[in-house]
Structure 1
Amino acid sequence: MMERTSLDDAVGEELQECVDSFNSEFIETASKGGLKGKHNQYKDDSAFSGLLFYEFDRHVLRIEYRCPIAAVDAFVRIVNETADSVKMRN
């Protein structure tokens, strides 16, 4: 959890700390719960790994994931289900 920060600020901080660590630019995404987010994958041939940010209120939730390439099929489903479950509690 990154308190009192915006989605763009969270991405900017990550890019400063991890220069040249990502495959491409962060892409916009949204959870099924309607939260704005950004996603990117790390440059890592040994693992399926990446980072998701979701913005809510004045905070950003940071979700980092990593698994061996051999388990990628099952893990992609887990990452997608986790991302889809992110929502604000009413």
Structure 2
Amino acid sequence: REAVPKARARADGAAIPLDELDRRLLNLLQGRFPLEPRPFLRVAELAETDEDDVLRRTQRLVDERIIRQVTPIFDTRVLGYSSMLVAAKVDPENPHRAA
């Protein structure tokens, strides 16, 4: 299943433009990141571009905050963790009251 990246809006409301290669890279980076000595070279081969272009574009996508981070995601349940996601709306004037 191919992800459909959304362009993050800038402060002025303009969308950050993504070309076809940006979209392809986002899909490749989001999927199974290759575990090999030069993973960005492998991504480049799959995207039909060169390694420098992948590195440059990935850094730009990080700088533009389209990619928040490049990091492994582990399965907490397999590691024996139990967790819960909790969200709360907090008064920005008095955040200490939420405690």
Tell me if both proteins adopt one fold, taking TM over 0.5 as the criterion. Answer: no
| Structure exhibiting the larger radius of gyration computed from Cα positions | 2
Higher helix share: 2
Normalised by the size of structure 1, how large is the TM-score? 0.31
Higher strand share: 1
